[in-house]
């Protein structure tokens, strides 16, 4: 039985299948790949295609005896889903095959030298603060073309193509330089997350306006609780996301589209300045500069201790902190309050996107096996197993049917349902122009600490964007929505 305003799991999964998500191919924070000529035109790169096979059970012609190497980012999702679900599916399909499994939180540090030397793994979960620059890898021909994957028969039903079993956002956001090169595997919600049980015990309501938000800050301050905090170390991009999404709420998604398309003056848009100004003022009045010295785990523990109310992060937080979460803490999602009386998006607008990207190395020893590994990940068994291990939804339609979803995820689902068409998109420049996103990650701490004004922050970001726009060695990307 559902209550008014709630949705069933079936309705949730149906909505996920039809919602027009928009997230960049690099939904994780990306860092430099030490390859030469990273900005070269993609036409100069070697072929990244894998020939198709007529066998629907082995559509890529995998050699069943050839070993496979998989590298997983051991962050919020852990790596049990790979070890206990996806890799066993592969060994079941090819009995006796050897899989080398590596989990690391230092994707870039460990893999950049290997891509340079040519000793590359077959499948990479490119995520976390050290994730590699996918545009640079694509320009060098390191990423296998996934069009064969999307056109392959589904592992569940050979009469259906893989592309027909996933949310359309997967296909929209797979492209770099016009090619399908990236698989975004999860559905995520980035917003302000809070402890619903604390709010219930205090009799507090979620603030819908900025005046209500600051009033709650005053109330919380009297009880020794911060209204808001973000990690200044290994996570300042959480706040960069937050500022960008707030700007989109104020001015509409066109604000983000213009930034991604390197439109002249996009960073100096009024909505962007208002967003940065609003959050700088929150930090000054209701924050604590000590958090600039904390990383994401330390900050998240502080929230579990009810030392801060709102934390800007994605829906992976619930699983990431599952072992540390006390019984009196229940994650829930809070939409960004109305910043002005004329915000382009109404209260309740939320960010929804696809993320957690996976790529296959075109120059690896077994690219055919890499594509098959992703195909098995996109089976209902593979996707359902991921959700069971991580308590997060995948992009595979209907794969979580019948599963018990945790409170935070159901809260996000209800928020998405209430938002309707008022969905905030991702900013794709983080995957397209690594240098610009890295610059923003550095500058957000500077402005939030009060060392520059919001106007100066926007001017610095615009200057960097202009430099990239004028740099002919950087392949340019565009989006229309």
Residue 36 pLDDT: 30
Residue 60 sits in the same domain as residue 17:
yes
pLDDT tens sequence across 190-203: 999 999 999 999 99
Dist CA 139 CA 79 (whole Å): 29
Residue 164 sits in the same domain as residue 98:
yes
Residue 380 sits in the same domain as residue 283:
no
Indicate the residue among 424, 440, 460 that finishes a domain: 424
Range of the domain at 403: 9-188+353-424
Dist CA 386 CA 230 (whole Å): 28
Residue 392 pLDDT: 87
Is the predicted pLDDT of residue 44 greater than 60, yes or no? no
Residue 200 sits in the same domain as residue 107:
no
What are the DSSP E strand ranges found in 196-296?
226-228
Dist CA 58 CA 44 (whole Å): 31
Lowest mean pLDDT across 320-324, 420-424, 446-450: 420-424
465: confidence class by pLDDT, cuts 50, 70, 90: very high
Within a domain: 2: no
Residue 22 sits in the same domain as residue 110:
yes
Residue 274 sits in the same domain as residue 137:
no
Is the predicted pLDDT of residue 227 greater than 90, yes or no? yes
355: confidence class by pLDDT, cuts 50, 70, 90: confident
CATH number for the domain spanning 130: value is 3.40.190.10
309: confidence class by pLDDT, cuts 50, 70, 90: very high
For a pLDDT cut of 70, what percent of the chain falls above it? 89
Residue 361 sits in the same domain as residue 297:
no
Indicate the residue among 386, 407, 424 that finishes a domain: 424
Residue 210 sits in the same domain as residue 181:
no
Residue 393 sits in the same domain as residue 450:
no
Residue 185 pLDDT: 96
Residue 47 pLDDT: 53
Within a domain: 101: yes
Q: What is the mean pLDDT of residues 105-124?
A: 96
Residue 368 pLDDT: 98
**DSSP type of residue 349:** -
Residue 250 sits in the same domain as residue 362:
no
Residue 225 sits in the same domain as residue 319:
yes
Within a domain: 369: yes
Q: What is the mean pLDDT of residues 462-470?
A: 98
Six-digit token pair at 110?
Answer: 């460990």
pLDDT tens sequence across 49-92: 676 667 889 999 999 999 999 999 998 899 999 999 999 999 99
Number of domains into which the chain is organized: 2
Single out the residue of 123, 98, 94 nearest to residue 111, CA to CA: 123
Residue 196 pLDDT: 98
3: confidence class by pLDDT, cuts 50, 70, 90: very low
Within a domain: 74: yes
Provide the mean pLDDT of the chain: 89
Q: What is the mean pLDDT of residues 101-129?
A: 95
Q: What is the mean pLDDT of residues 301-314?
A: 97
Dist CA 84 CA 381 (whole Å): 12
Q: What is the mean pLDDT of residues 238-244?
A: 98
Name the more confident of 3 and 427.
Answer: 427
Indicate the residue among 387, 405, 424 that finishes a domain: 424
Within a domain: 478: no
Residue 367 sits in the same domain as residue 240:
no
Lowest mean pLDDT across 12-21, 242-251, 320-329: 12-21
Q: Taking a C-beta distance cutoff of 8 angstroms, is the pair 39, 93 a contact?
A: no
HSE-CB at 402 with a 13 A cutoff on CA atoms is 6
Within a domain: 476: no
Phi-psi region of 158 (alpha: psi -120 to 50; beta: other; left: phi over 0): alpha
Q: Taking a C-beta distance cutoff of 8 angstroms, is the pair 375, 381 a contact?
A: no
Within a domain: 1: no
Residue 31 pLDDT: 35
Within a domain: 79: yes
Residue 157 pLDDT: 95
Name the more confident of 24 and 125.
Answer: 125
Q: What is the mean pLDDT of residues 28-52?
A: 42
SS3 label, residue 106: coil
Is the predicted pLDDT of residue 96 greater than 50, yes or no? yes
């Amino acid at each position: 039985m559902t209550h008014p305003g709630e949705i069933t799991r079936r309705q949730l999964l149906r909505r996920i299948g039809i919602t027009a998500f928009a997230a960049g191919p690099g939904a994780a924070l990306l860092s430099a790949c030490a390859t030469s000529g990273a900005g070269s035109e993609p036409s100069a790169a070697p072929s990244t295609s894998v020939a198709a096979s007529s066998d629907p059970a082995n559509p890529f012609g995998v050699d069943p005896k050839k070993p496979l190497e998989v590298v997983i980012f051991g962050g919020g999702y852990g790596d049990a889903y790979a070890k206990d679900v996806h890799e066993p599916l592969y060994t079941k399909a090819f009995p006796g095959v050897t899989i080398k499994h590596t989990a690391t939180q230092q994707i870039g540090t460990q893999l950049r030298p290997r891509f340079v030397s040519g000793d590359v793994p077959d499948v990479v979960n490119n995520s976390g603060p050290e994730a590699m620059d996918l545009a640079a890898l694509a320009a060098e021909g390191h990423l296998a073309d996934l069009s064969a994957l999307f056109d392959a028969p589904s592992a569940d039903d050979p009469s259906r193509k893989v592309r027909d079993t996933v949310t359309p956002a997967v296909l929209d956001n797979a492209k770099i330089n016009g090619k399908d090169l990236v698989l975004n595997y999860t559905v995520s919600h980035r917003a302000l997350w809070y402890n619903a049980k604390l709010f219930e015990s205090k009799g507090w309501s979620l603030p819908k306006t900025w005046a209500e938000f600051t009033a709650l800050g005053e109330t919380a301050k009297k009880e020794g609780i911060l209204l808001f905090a973000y990690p200044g170390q290994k996570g300042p991009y959480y706040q960069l996301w937050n500022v960008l999404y707030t700007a989109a709420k104020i001015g509409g998604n066109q604000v983000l589209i213009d930034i991604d398309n390197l439109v002249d003056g996009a960073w100096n848009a009024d909505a962007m300045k208002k967003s940065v100004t609003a959050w700088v003022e929150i930090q000054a009045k209701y924050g604590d500069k000590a958090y600039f010295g904390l990383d994401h785990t330390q900050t998240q523990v502080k929230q579990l201790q009810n030392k801060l109310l709102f934390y800007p992060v994605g829906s992976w937080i619930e699983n990431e902190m599952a072992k540390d979460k006390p019984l009196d803490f229940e994650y829930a999602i809070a939409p960004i309050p109305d910043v002005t009386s004329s915000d382009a998006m109404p209260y309740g607008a939320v960010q929804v996107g696809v993320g957690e990207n996976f790529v296959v190395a075109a120059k690896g020893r077994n690219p055919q096996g890499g594509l098959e590994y992703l195909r098995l990940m996109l089976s209902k068994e593979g996707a359902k197993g991921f959700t069971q291990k991580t308590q997060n939804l995948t992009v595979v339609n209907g794969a979580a049917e019948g599963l018990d979803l945790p409170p935070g995820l159901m809260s996000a689902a209800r928020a998405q349902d209430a938002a309707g068409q008022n969905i905030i998109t991702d900013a794709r420049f983080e995957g397209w122009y690594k240098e610009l996103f890295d610059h923003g990650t550095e500058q957000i701490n500077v402005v939030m600490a009060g060392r520059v004004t919001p106007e100066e922050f926007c001017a610095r970001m615009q200057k960097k964007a202009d430099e990239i726009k004028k740099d002919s060695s950087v392949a340019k990307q565009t989006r229309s929505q």
